[in-house]
Amino acid sequence: MARASRDPGREFVPPVVKVRIRYAKRGRLRFSSHRDFQRAFERAVRRANVPMAYSAGFRPHPKISYANAAPTGVASEAEYIEIGLSDHRDIETLRADLDAAMPPGLDIVDAVLATEGDLVGRLEASVWQIELPEVTELEARSAGEKLLAADEVEVERMMKSGLRKFDARAAIRSFDVRSNPADSVTCAILTVVVAHGTPSVRPDDVLAALRQVADLVPPVPPRVTRLAQGRLAADARTVSDPLTPDRVAEANPMS
Amino acid sequence: MSLDSRVRGETVFPDLERLLPFVSKPVQYVGGELNATVKQWDDVAVRWVLMYPDAYEVGLPNQGVQILYEVINERDDALAERTYSVWPDLEALMREHQVSQFTVDAHRAVGDFDVFGISFSTELGYTNMLTALDLAGIPLHTDQRDDSHPIVIAGGHAAFNPEAVSRFIDAAVLGDGEEAAMDITDAIAKWKSEGSPGGRAELLSRLAEIQGVYVPSFYDVDYLPDGRIHRVVPNRPEAPWRVAKRTVMDLDEWPYPKAPLVPLAETVHERSSVEIFRGCTRGCRFCQAGMITRPVRERSIDTVGKIIANGLAATGFDEVGLLSLSSADHSEIGEMAKQLADRYEGTNTSLSLPSTRVDAFNITLANELTRNGRRSGLTFAPEGGSERIRRVINKTVSKEDLIRTVSAAYGAGWRQVKLYFMCGLPTETDEDVLEIADLAREVIRAGREASGRRDIRCTVSIGGFVPKPHTPFQWAAQLGWEETDARLDRLRQTIRNDREVGKAIGFRYHDGRPGIVEGLLSRGDRRTGAIIEQVWRDGARFDGWSEHFSFEGWMAAAEIALADEPIDVDWYTTRERDESEVLAWDHLDSGLDRDWLWADWQDALNETEVDDCRWEPCFDCGVCDVMGTEIQVGPTGRSLLPLTVVDSPIPASGTEAAPSGN
């Protein structure tokens, strides 16, 4: 009993071009989950009349690849997706249309035509900003020093497979602390560069590690923002923009 | 942080935000939906907060709330925001940190608004209303509120007998809300512009003069020694003896929702919906919706087309629902389905019709609407297992018709048919219910023959019947939950023991106990309010959710609340009423003539059917005479094309709005 194609109207539409997109998750919409973003984005491509390529299969899906989504509750300035188009479009117009079709707070901030190479491979590390209200710069600094001094800090996290223990220390490549002198309220601001890996070390794990090595327990929920993702710089304090290779290739098509 | 130091209309989000990392699915509390409206607090005279008293995932798609939200926000002198029930995890944190019940639009405190409108499609939302009032700092009892508190107004189908919540609501709106909400807004704006003379009491008496607005405190109820109601009388000259419902007569004048809300959080219905008509005159005797929304008023085919085109362009949804109480009955449904299927062919947009009538025409329609899509499941609602009981409930379909219809469905490629039934209907015996098993067996046999395959399925879904006010069954005895469960169990055994087809038949049922609480509340009176308050104080929340519902909790609360009354839960539920008894909702006028309802109840007992007045002469249910309304059905002969898109926030072009023939 072969299932003949009962779906003549929905055919496989192969991608003609691929577009890489950076989006931000800001303000109260940081509480949206990755699935929430997916649904919102799939609707936005329909509202903005983006000529999407569709997957083959019984229930075709628009071709969208997601990479390394930030956890629910964490804001981000640097989330990445790649979409397949069935037709050419002006990239900046496409970005602006998509941004207009998304709810404010889920903002489409950058888009480039994909060239050679794998986008996910360029996302080696994340720069996280962790704001700790009611924690002094000094407390945070001393906790960070203890963390960096340790060889290994084992933390626990509930995963699909159950409670898992893993080392959070090795992935932490740099740890800087500052506070905003203009701010009247006490708030330490951490900038932590964390390499991606499996299991991925998330901001929660960094905070758990700080609790473990220095008993640092934030009295108020921290506000976390992913500032950037990309290839790790030599000083391990910054990352490079992962869309730059595509932009360079487009500007110099012959090179 | 504290409620008193805030300026009215100021956001509570900073306080709420600190709690969100600790609750499940925080996205449901942050708002930010596409097409949501946030207005400046000081720019308007009248501020509404609208609530669907259930979790966001259930409440957000509610059409009634979305329509009122839009029509109020379109006014320059008014704003509307929305609030939904918070889950117990957040409720506990809000109490601990003194965060008020908030709107999801601008996160304003619910207590700051002028009007708090709550839409009840089911009575099981009553306890959630109390949570919201309490978290908003609004006294639960109307007589303890002052001029600083919002006017609390109930709407929705349950408002046709709001007596059980009469101590908690300042007013109820009976019937369609669009025009009533406008009149209420006008009245409040005028009263405020005059300097709010006479305070809350004066405002309520002005509201009581609006058609469809019922102010419970303007009526006194007294009782006979045996507990029955003696009489209900107005205690103010402005309160009418009977409050008549509102009916919107021209649905084309109210083409809402124009821009449906698109949530970030996952909700139960993710689609653009259009009501293709209101009202139903099929006359199913159990159906409160069909009785209280008469007469039938169709929306024209071209307005339907416009609403769908605008809705899809404004949302990006890929599914359209054609809603009504019996969508296949629209006089132009065939043309509508065909033209919509043409227009959206090849766009990955699916069309759905809640198809519940059992006839071959429905299959044609369903096939049309799924021209390009999947044919997974079709739903029919014969409601009664035997032809005899179907005559009692006036849902007339013969066994032969049913088998013929489902055969056609399986033959057309549908793999699964869902059949809806009720248990506990008046005059029902075990045999009536056991006939469902025979029916399901014949459905499978016929389906295997028609499709030539053995992997087809039939799901029997069955729940307990709850008698509702303003129906011919308002006098009927509800079946006790023990009997309901026993009958359902016998049916389940019979299906399971059928070796030939048992595995092809799915059986879904709801146990009888929630139905008893629903029955208690829907035919409740003012004394029932004490039970609701007691059970809520004991912790009842989210009674529509089986994991939260506690039957024992409700029965214990009833025991306490009714201790000094000559009545109990059985008195409200399993007791049959006689013709002369004053019913708690007799002073609320759905337009149906009480004598007609009684005669129809007698016809039910005699197994006599009644026709549909759309195709047969009027049978004097009373609605059109009393309400000055009339049936409005087509065909108009108009067409969906050409397409004109209006008020679309993003220019619609390309696939979705393309006319057919491209």
Tally C-beta pairs within 8 A across A and B.
100
Within this chain, do residues A97 and A138 fall inside the same structural domain, yes or no? no
**Strands laid side by side in the B416-423 sheet:** B377-383, B416-423, B457-464, B505-509
Q: Tokens for B517?
A: 């609480």
pLDDT of B641 reads 58
* CB-CB contact of A125 with A193 (8 Å): yes
pLDDT of B354 reads 76
Within this chain, do residues A89 and A175 fall inside the same structural domain, yes or no? no
**CATH architecture for residues B13-243:** 3-Layer(aba) Sandwich (3.40)
pLDDT of B15 reads 95
Res. B624 pLDDT band, cuts 50 70 90: very high
Within this chain, do residues A158 and A227 fall inside the same structural domain, yes or no? yes
Give the gyration radius of chain B's Cα atoms: 25
Residue A166 in any domain: the answer is: yes
Comparing A199 with B212, which gets the higher pLDDT? B212
Mean pLDDT for all residues in chain B: 92
pLDDT of B245 reads 97
Residues B228-270 pLDDT 10s: 999 999 999 999 999 999 999 999 999 999 999 999 999 998 8
The yes-or-no verdict on residue B646 having pLDDT over 70 is no
pLDDT of A250 reads 82
The yes-or-no verdict on residue B661 having pLDDT over 80 is no
Query: Where does a domain end: A80, A114, A148?
Result: A114
Within this chain, do residues A90 and A52 fall inside the same structural domain, yes or no? yes
A219 vs B: CB within 8 A: no
CA–CA gap between residue B196 and residue B186 (Å, rounded):
13
Query: Beta-carbon neighbour count of residue A164 at 10 Å?
Result: 12
Q: Tokens for B161?
A: 């007998």
Residues B335-378 pLDDT 10s: 999 999 999 887 778 888 876 677 777 888 888 888 766 677 88
CA atoms within 13 A on the CB side of A97: 19
Question: What is the count of structural domains for chain A?
Answer: 2
User: How distant is the Cα of B35 from the closest Cα of chain A, in angstroms?
Assistant: 9
Residue A2 in any domain: the answer is: no
Spatial CB neighbours of A244, under 8 Å, sequence gap ≥ 6: none
* CB-CB contact of B383 with B393 (8 Å): yes
CA–CA gap between residue B103 and residue A164 (Å, rounded):
38
Residue B9: which region, alpha, beta or left (left: phi > 0; alpha: psi -120 to 50)? left
User: What is the average per-residue pLDDT within B494-502?
Assistant: 90
Residue A5 in any domain: the answer is: no
Phi/psi for B140 (5° steps) reads -65, -35
The yes-or-no verdict on residue B63 having pLDDT over 50 is yes
Cα A203-A208-A214 angle, rounded to 5 deg = 120
User: What is the average per-residue pLDDT within A37-62?
Assistant: 87
The yes-or-no verdict on residue A202 having pLDDT over 60 is yes
User: What is the average per-residue pLDDT within A221-243?
Assistant: 95
In a mutational test of the B interface, the residue from A7, A28, A107, A130 whose CB has the highest number of chain B CBs within 10 Å is: A28
User: What is the average per-residue pLDDT within A27-53?
Assistant: 93
Residues A167-185 pLDDT 10s: 999 999 999 999 877 777 8
CA–CA gap between residue A104 and residue B264 (Å, rounded):
11
Cα A210-A212-A218 angle, rounded to 5 deg = 50
Residue A252 in any domain: the answer is: no
Within this chain, do residues A230 and A165 fall inside the same structural domain, yes or no? yes
A1-8's contacts with Cβ under 8 Å and 24+ in sequence apart are A1/B453, A6/B374, A6/B375, A6/B413, A7/A58, A7/B372, A7/B373, A7/B374, A8/B372
Within this chain, do residues A107 and A158 fall inside the same structural domain, yes or no? no
Per DSSP, the residues of chain A read -------TTS--B--SEEEEEEEEE-GGGGG--HHHHHHHHHHHHHHTT--B-B--SSS--B-EEEE-PPPTT-EEEEEEEEEEESS---HHHHHHHHHHHSPTTEEEEEEEE--SS-HHHH--EEEEEEEEET--HHHHHHHHHHHHH-S--EEEEEETTEEEEEE-TTTEEEEEEEE-TT-SS-EEEEEEEEE--SSPP-HHHHHHHHHHHH----SS--EEEEEEEEEEPTTSS-EE-TTHHHHHHHH-TT-
Within this chain, do residues A126 and A154 fall inside the same structural domain, yes or no? yes
Within this chain, do residues A226 and A131 fall inside the same structural domain, yes or no? yes
Within this chain, do residues A52 and A108 fall inside the same structural domain, yes or no? yes
8 Å CB contact of A9 and B346: yes
Helix or strand holding residue B220 (H, E): strand B219-223
The yes-or-no verdict on residue B629 having pLDDT over 50 is yes
pLDDT of B648 reads 39
Q: Which of A13, A103, A41, A32 is nearest to A72 (CA)?
A: A32
Residue A10 in any domain: the answer is: no
ipTM score for this prediction: 0.86
Secondary structure of residue B80 in the 3-state scheme: strand
CA–CA gap between residue B377 and residue B412 (Å, rounded):
12
Query: Where does a domain end: A74, A96, A114?
Result: A114
The yes-or-no verdict on residue B28 having pLDDT over 80 is yes
Query: What residues in B contact A97, CB-CB < 8 Å?
Result: 650
8 Å CB contact of B32 and A10: no
Within this chain, do residues A28 and A95 fall inside the same structural domain, yes or no? yes
Helix or strand holding residue B430 (H, E): helix B430-451
Query: Could you tell me which chain B residue has the CA closest to the CA of A101?
Result: B650
B274 forms beta bridges with B322
Q: In this prediction, what percent of chain B has a pLDDT beyond 70?
A: 95
Mean pLDDT for all residues in chain A: 90
CB-CB: which of A10, A32, A58 is closest to B264?
A32
CATH number at residue A148: 3.30.70
Res. A62 pLDDT band, cuts 50 70 90: confident
Structure-token match 């910054």, residue found: A238
B273 forms beta bridges with B321
CB-CB: which of A32, A58, A103 is closest to B34?
A103
- Domains in chain B: boundaries: 13-243, 271-374+592-662
Residues B374-392 pLDDT 10s: 677 888 899 999 999 999 9
Domain coverage including residue A93: 17-114
CATH number at residue A69: 3.30.70.580
Query: Could you tell me which chain B residue has the CA closest to the CA of A3?
Result: B413
Residue A249 in any domain: the answer is: no
From residue B204, alpha-carbon distances to B115, B150, B239, B240 in Å are 11, 11, 10, 13
User: What is the average per-residue pLDDT within B520-535?
Assistant: 98
Q: Which of B508, B498, B493, B316 is nearest to B423 (CA)?
A: B508
Res. B553 pLDDT band, cuts 50 70 90: very high
Q: Tokens for B208?
A: 């009581």
Phi/psi for A58 (5° steps) reads -65, -40
Comparing B404 with B658, which gets the higher pLDDT? B404
Residue A11 in any domain: the answer is: no
Query: Where does a domain end: A114, A142, A165?
Result: A114
B652 forms beta bridges with none
Q: Tokens for A44?
A: 């936005």
Residue A167 in any domain: the answer is: yes
CA–CA gap between residue A179 and residue A186 (Å, rounded):
8
Within this chain, do residues A222 and A127 fall inside the same structural domain, yes or no? yes
> Longest Cα pair distance anywhere in chain B, in angstroms?
76
Res. B645 pLDDT band, cuts 50 70 90: very low
Query: Could you tell me which chain B residue has the CA closest to the CA of A97?
Result: B650
User: How distant is the Cα of B474 from the closest Cα of chain A, in angstroms?
Assistant: 44
CA–CA gap between residue B305 and residue B352 (Å, rounded):
14
Within this chain, do residues A51 and A71 fall inside the same structural domain, yes or no? yes
pLDDT of B650 reads 41
Residues B138-196 pLDDT 10s: 999 999 999 999 999 999 999 999 999 999 999 999 999 999 999 999 999 999 999 99
User: How distant is the Cα of B432 from the closest Cα of chain A, in angstroms?
Assistant: 38
The yes-or-no verdict on residue B662 having pLDDT over 80 is no
User: What is the average per-residue pLDDT within B303-315?
Assistant: 93
CATH code for the domain defined by B271-374+592-662: 3.30.750.210
